[in-house]
Each structure stands twice: as structure tokens, then as C-alpha cells.
Amino acid sequence: MDKPFVYIQDLNLGYRNKAVLKDLYWEMNIGENYAIGGKSGTGKTSLAKSIAGLVSYQGSIEINFDQLRELPQEVLYVESWYQFKNLEGVANFYYQQRYTSLQANDTLTVHAELVSYGKEKDLQFDQVEPILEALGFATFASSQLIELSSGEHKKLQLVKALWLKPQLLIIDQPYTGLDTASRKNLNILLDQVAEEGVQLILISNDSELPNSIHSFVEIREGKLVEADTLENSTTEIHLREIPEFLKASPLYSSQDIVKMVDVNISYGEKQVLKNINWEIKAGEKWLLQGHNGSGKSTLLSLINGDHPQSYANELYLFGNRRGSGESIWDIKQHIGLISPEFHWYFDTTATVWQSIASGFYDTVGLFQQLPYTKSTQVDELIAYFGLTESKNELLTALPLGKQRLVLLARTIIKNPELLILDEPCQGLDQQQTKHFNQLVDELSSNGMTLIYVGHFESQLPTCIEKRILLEKGGVKVVESLNTEILS
């Protein structure tokens, strides 16, 4: 009798005296492709990293590679977020560094990264080109790694994985940061490599999976349980009463929040934004959309004060023209921000309480003592988000869903005039996404201005009333939205 391709027995794994996987047993046979779903924090990523040999565990995991296949006898794990390094092997970049020209000789280009990977794995470069085209990534060859958005970094890791074609490919949240077209093309590519003998384990609650995925499991109470599908069921969510200090309208310094007049941004010969004209008034709720690489992240970096080329353009923020004497910190006082990239660079030593409190000072960690009033507001917000039991834990120790709630709390702690939520629900399941967006609706009901970046209308707050759509760096659509379309 043939041995299972993956054989797991008595797998136990825990963090900080908390058991995550408990005497887990699993057999994955030759030719099977699995999706692992379920709630955030149940241990899906821990199981994947255990199979890939990336974490310590107790128990037995046996991978029985097919010695007759030409495919590499490897387990490749593609993590939900990828943290790249510069040429000196350092990963701790600071957030604004993405938009400066100083990193030009400090990180590889996409092309150089792929050339290096191809040499390391003995791959033919002509075989990667169709993958780049299918995922809409061929135009990023000259881009620095530090310039890429979260969705673009995800594509780069997927490109390398599909190029390598290991015997076992594990992808954690394969669709994170990808637009609709890229998701569809990724599923086609995954079906193709599955036909060639690559076995897949996808960690995802997405309903639109590759056709090659026929088996479904979830982790419940530390053990693996077979499931018919990965259909998500959402239950009614009852929100707590919003803290009093957030019920008042933000103190607007101007009714003109953002005004862009023929804004252009270029990196050398590559033009990222082209003749952008956009106005945002106080209290408006905007949806910002566009394919990966359309310029969304760069547009937001102008508003958030992070992009140095803002001085070379006619850009007004909170009633003042950019470059009229205000500092980046003057601008950030008006803004609360969540983005995948900001989450990347956040202080890994900060507790939940410190992370939320840092929002008062727009820092990526808490570096000063809070006065009593502000400390009380942090405690009130922690209670509102249901995080009281976790307030002294490290932010990074929490499941992704709770980390996002912490960062949402951080963004609104100072009741900002403008709330920028850049794909805040990446990697969250349907229940978490629904909860997050209900919180956004509640918190922004005091008249706060909102810019929300999201690809899918079914996963948006109901408060959104206007939309701007970018395409290849230009404005394709600006329109008012019927709220019924978004519900």
C-alpha cells in the first residue's frame, strides 16, 4: 500500500502556554489538493508552517515525495505577508522610505530578484514570462522591491512559487491584495500546475477556489475536521456603545480636506499618476478602487504626507497647499491610517495597549507617558473593541483579525478628520470583515471623512457614498453611489 503524501500524527503546537494544535492527525494522499478554512486564530498558519518545517512542534510530520517525478522534492510555503530584505539582509525599513529615491541602490529590482531566484533554483527564465503576463506583473520588472504594494509583493511570491512548481505548494491567503482579474488568473495558473503534479494546500475562506481543489478541512479545538465546503456563515453582530469621546464630530480645520489639480508622479521614465484631479469635502465617504498597480498606494501617500513629490504638484490638504510650511507631522495630526504596508512596518515590540495609544502621536510605537485623560480613552476604546483580555499582549501575538481591530482603534483614537482605510480586511474571513465594516460605519457616523480602499463591493461599509476608480495611473471614473449597491 502506498504511503500518504503527507502523514501527520500527534501534532501539538502552542504559543505562550496556549495550545493551538492538539494531537492533530491528518493524511493527505497522492493527487489530493486541499483548502484549509475556518476562523482566524484556530491554527491554520501554524499547521502550514509546521508542514513546511518553519516552526518547532511536537509529534510527527512525514512528507513522502515522489522520487520519480521531475518536480522539485520541496515543500514551499508562501506566507500571507512577505517581508523582503535589502542588499545587506536587513528587513526593518521605515514606512516613508517606500517613496524616497534614496533606496534606489539599497533593494533589488523585481527583475534582479527573479534572476537571482532562477539561478538559485536552476530555473529557465523564459518559463516565468507567461506567469508574469497572466498575473499582470510584467510591467514591474524595473520596480524596486521597496516600492511594491502588498498586492504586488504577493504577486511576486506567487510568481516564484508557480515558476518553481514544488511537489507541495502551500499558500497562505493566496488572494490577499489581488484584484478580481488577478484572482481569476491565479486560479487558472494553480489548476495548470496541479495538472503537472504540484499538490496544493490553500489556506483560504474564499469561495472562488481553483477547480483542482476538491477537499476541505477546518481546524476546530486544535484538530483537523473534514468539511463539505468552505462556505462562511455569518452571525448577527451586536456592537457595544461607542465611547463618548468619539460621538462628537471631528474638529475640522477646513471644509476642504483634499484637492488635487493635475497631479503627476513619476519614477524616472515610469509615470505612476497622470493628471489626477480629485476633491474631497469634510464628511464625505469615498471608495478608492483600481487594479493592482493602478496608483492607489501612491495616491494615498500624497494625502498622508509621505510622498516627497507632493511638493512638486498642486496639492491642498486640509485647506493648505502642500509645501506652505507644514511638516509631515502637521498633516498626520488630521489623519488616521490603516494599510497593509503600515502594518508591515509597525513596532513588533508594542503591546495592544501601547499600539492603540501610539495613535495619539502618529508613531509606530509608544515612546512617552500618556496623561490620565488619554489613558482612560485608550481603556474605553479597548473595551469597545472587546480587547480587554488582550491589552497587555504583544500586537504580533494576536490573530490577524484582532490585530486589524487594534490598528482600527489606533487610527480613530484621536477622532481624526480623515480616516484612510487601505484594504483593511485583507486576510479576514467573512464574519470578521462584516464586523470590521460595521465598526467603521458606527465610528464614522459622527461626520468623519473616509477614504476606503477595497476591491469587492460585497465587502464594504454601507456608509460609502462616492467612488473614484483609477486605471493605469489616471482617473477613469468619479461617481456618486447608490448605497443599495454596496449592501
Residue 235 has a pLDDT of: 60
Q: Are residues 221 and 128 in the same domain?
A: yes
Q: Are residues 140 and 94 in the same domain?
A: yes
Judge contact between 215 and 34, C-beta under 8 A.
Answer: yes
End-of-domain residue from the set 192, 227, 262: 227
Q: Are residues 203 and 88 in the same domain?
A: yes
Q: What is the CATH number of the domain that holds 444?
A: 3.40.50.300
Q: Are residues 180 and 271 in the same domain?
A: no
Judge contact between 37 and 216, C-beta under 8 A.
Answer: yes
Q: Are residues 141 and 40 in the same domain?
A: yes
Within a domain: 191: yes
Judge contact between 32 and 77, C-beta under 8 A.
Answer: no
Within a domain: 313: yes
Q: Are residues 248 and 352 in the same domain?
A: yes
Within a domain: 186: yes
Judge contact between 422 and 295, C-beta under 8 A.
Answer: no
The CA distances from residue 471 to 91, 466, 481, in Å, are 31, 17, 19
Residue 229 has a pLDDT of: 66
Residue 270 has a pLDDT of: 80
Residue 91 has a pLDDT of: 44
End-of-domain residue from the set 227, 258, 284: 227
Q: Are residues 319 and 403 in the same domain?
A: yes
Within a domain: 237: no
Within a domain: 273: yes
Within a domain: 452: yes
**What's the predicted TM-score (pTM) here?**
0.80
Q: Are residues 342 and 458 in the same domain?
A: yes
Residue 251 has a pLDDT of: 92
Within a domain: 1: no
Q: Are residues 191 and 331 in the same domain?
A: no
End-of-domain residue from the set 178, 194, 227: 227
Indicate left, alpha or beta for 303 from its phi (over 0: left) and psi (-120 to 50: alpha).
Answer: alpha
Q: Are residues 127 and 18 in the same domain?
A: yes
Residue 181 has a pLDDT of: 85
Residue 81 has a pLDDT of: 67
Judge contact between 299 and 470, C-beta under 8 A.
Answer: yes
Within a domain: 25: yes
How many whole angstroms separate alpha carbon 59 and alpha carbon 274? Answer: 56
Range of the domain at 311: 244-486
Domain count of the fold of the chain: 2
Could you tell me the strand order of the sheet in which 168-172 lies? 75-78, 168-172, 199-203, 34-37, 215-220, 223-227
Q: Are residues 218 and 297 in the same domain?
A: no
Phi, psi of 64 (to 5 degrees): -105, 85
Q: Are residues 388 and 434 in the same domain?
A: yes
Which are the contacts of 372, defined by CB distance < 8 A and separation ≥ 6?
none
Average pLDDT per 10 consecutive residues for the chain, totaling 487 residues: 89 85 95 89 91 95 92 94 53 46 62 94 94 90 79 90 97 86 93 97 90 94 83 65 92 94 87 94 95 87 85 91 82 88 80 93 76 94 92 88 89 94 81 87 93 81 94 92 51
Residue 141 has a pLDDT of: 86
